Amino acid sequence: MSPLLLLVAAAFALEGMWLPAQLPDQAPALRSAGFSGDPAALADLHGAPLGAVVSLGGCTATFVSDTGLLITNHHCVTGMLQRAQKEGENLEETGFYAATRDDERPGGAGARVWITQSTEDVTAKVVGALSPKLGDRARNDAIDAASKRLVAACERTPGTRCRVASYYEGLQYSLIRQLELRDVRVVMAPPDMVGNYGDEVDNWHWPRHAGDFGFLRAYVGKDGKPADYSPENVPYTPPQHVTVAPRGPEPGEFVMVAGYPGRTQRWRTALEVEREATLRIPSVLEHGGWVLQTLQDRITAEPALAAKLTVPRLGLGNSVFKNKGMLEGFARAGAVEHARARDAALDAWVAADPARAAKWAAPIAELRAVITRRDATRLADERMDWLGRSTLLSAARALYLWSHEQQKPDALRELGYQDRDAPRTKAWIGDLDASLEPGTERVVFEHFLRLVLALPVDQQPPELVAWLAQSPGATADVDGTVAAALTRLYGAPTLTDKATRLALFGKKPAIFNASHDGFVSLAVALSAYDERRRDADKADQGAFSRLRPAYADALRTFDPARAYPDANSTLRVSFGTVQGYQPRDAVTYTPQTTVRGIVEKAGAWPFAAPPPLLAAIQAGQWGAWADPALGTVPVDFLADLDITGGNSGSATLDAQGRLVGLVFDSNYEGIGSDWLHEATMARSVHVDVRYVLWYLDAVAGADSLLREMGILPSVG
């Protein structure tokens, strides 16, 4: 084996987000890490533990009782808390606990639980019959049509949600069948200064002391089938639920996580790694950082806005800090240089053999050309995307596109605009009020509108320019143009009214074309721009569906250690051990924190630990939840297993498959692992089950939850 391949093989030793079907082949590594069960059993989607693991859509949760009780992260339920709160409440700040099932609150019409039922290789059905003569746009459309046919057939069973997922950059496709539960209720979430203790000051940084946990419950109709929310519904009985361990993990012990990691890019080209480091991440830091500061300033100036702005601020803050860490991680690990060296070695290897060159050289070269072919519009599109993050403009655009797509046969509509998508779209449109704050949105919209107008005239979308010129009171100068636009948009926006938004869903295009609402008229004006963007995206995707598989096939052949595909929101399993790390010279992080650290940090926000929590720590009544070696209750721990966004809320399991914690974060030094995994630095951060149980027992008085999970209260 070449020195390069030896290096790559060594780097992959501790990483891997494995497909369940791959786990039997990982038996030696699992046993070496300390797993005591049958590795083959981990491939069973209906057995333990995978049968208990569900997707919330962007987060993971796990059944911990036979009456539909789910455990996940606090930050995975904040949106539901916001939708569940009543006038005058701020459940993010106060926390919530339903002492009885009648007290549990609906998490919103769009809340979902998805349980994977089966996977089927459909590669031949998706791309097997495609003619090599197809143009890129036609190829994209053919793949889209084949995928929709498979999904439509799969979803003939009521209560089923299906998708076609791509693996290894399009070398393989699988049809994923999931049970979709539509009645999800909030059971318990601690206050923000427990679940998000330290906020952005501590975010991504070790040591952490966050009790990032929360509980939901899934309900079904009396017939046991998925149903919309109704007081008459009954708790869902899952096929499996995990056992909650009475003890947490110790340093060096085996742990594994089963969940739905969102997206990694470890199979991408060096050109894309470079563009990530020099273009996308700096854009997020510049623009996202500005919006984040604006949200924080608004909350500081008007604390009453926190009820609406806290959740979007938390989400954006997480993104900004993650990207900052990624940029630093790229620099520290030499990610761009590493990727260039890998691609150079790959190119040399391909060129060294005529058969390899004939198979892979041309598509790899063309792939790099496609990646850069839209550079001329990149900056304009980027700024328009930030402008388009306006909640009201997003709603207007979605409603207008729905009006057009509903004129087409269902199979020919855009993804996300088919009949199957209507219930969640209506729920999203209806739930916008939870975080809609027009005053803040106006400030943000003005900022990005000015950035678009600062572009050279030939780069400004003509559709936007024309709409601006037609705004009453518009002048030739930028200030007058912006002022007129803001008055037109925010003077009397009708879309701030929930009933008005919902009434527009399903209306024909003529209704929108005749509307005098500023945001509706802007959505109509931008529709041609949006269509151009969609067409260009589809042409690119068609090209990528031809070219990325060739690159991935060459790379996988060149580097056989590349055994697992990038994360793509499908069910995966990662495993490792509880371990600390050394972030820099003379600094060593041990892998556990305790409640002592909460007291040490306590003070002003974001370390305003709730008085009941501090009082319980001061009382020192640990019950059964103290770690003998630590002499107190552990809070969080580190492990070297491989995760990314979407794993949040996943149950951390021990060698017997029992729940010993919840993964909720990565460490700052390992954030760049979405692109290049650093085995010595990358760590996942977990809340220890003993802190969860102690908090429920000693602070929240949630004895009913403990008993439902088979745990006896032991404090007091």
209 catalytic, yes or no? no
Residues 6+ apart with CB under 8 A from 561: 5, 8, 9, 12
Choose among 200, 369, 212, 374: nearest CA to 299.
Answer: 200
648 catalytic, yes or no? yes
CA 319 – CA 11 distance, rounded (Å)? 26
Residue with tokens 């459940």: 91
174 catalytic, yes or no? no
Which tokens sit at 536?
A: 């260009």
Residues 6+ apart with CB under 8 A from 648: 58, 59, 60, 72, 73, 75, 76, 663, 664, 665
Of the candidates 65, 74, 75, 673, the residue annotated as catalytic is 75
Residue 53, beta-bridge partner list? 62
- For the chain, what is the total number of helices (H) and then of strands (E)? 28, 20
CA 221 – CA 406 distance, rounded (Å)? 30
How do beta strands 113-121 and 172-181 pair?
antiparallel
CA 221 – CA 219 distance, rounded (Å)? 7
Residue 220, beta-bridge partner list? 234
Which tokens sit at 318?
A: 């997480």
**Contact predicate 400/512, CB 8 Å:** yes
Other beta carbons within 10 Å of 286: 12
Half-sphere exposure of 406 (CA within 13 A, CB side): 16
CA 714 – CA 87 distance, rounded (Å)? 36
Of the candidates 144, 212, 665, 688, the residue annotated as catalytic is 212
CA 343 – CA 268 distance, rounded (Å)? 10
Length of the chain in terms of residues written: 716
Which tokens sit at 659?
A: 């729940």
DSSP 170-209: GTEEEEEEEEEE-EEEEEEE--HHHHTTTHHHHTT-SS--
Of the candidates 648, 666, 673, 684, the residue annotated as catalytic is 648
Half-sphere exposure of 451 (CA within 13 A, CB side): 20
CA 383 – CA 615 distance, rounded (Å)? 49
| Chain centre distance of CA 483 | 36
Tell me, what amino acid is at 126? V
CA 683 – CA 639 distance, rounded (Å)? 6
Residues annotated as part of the active site: 75, 212, 648
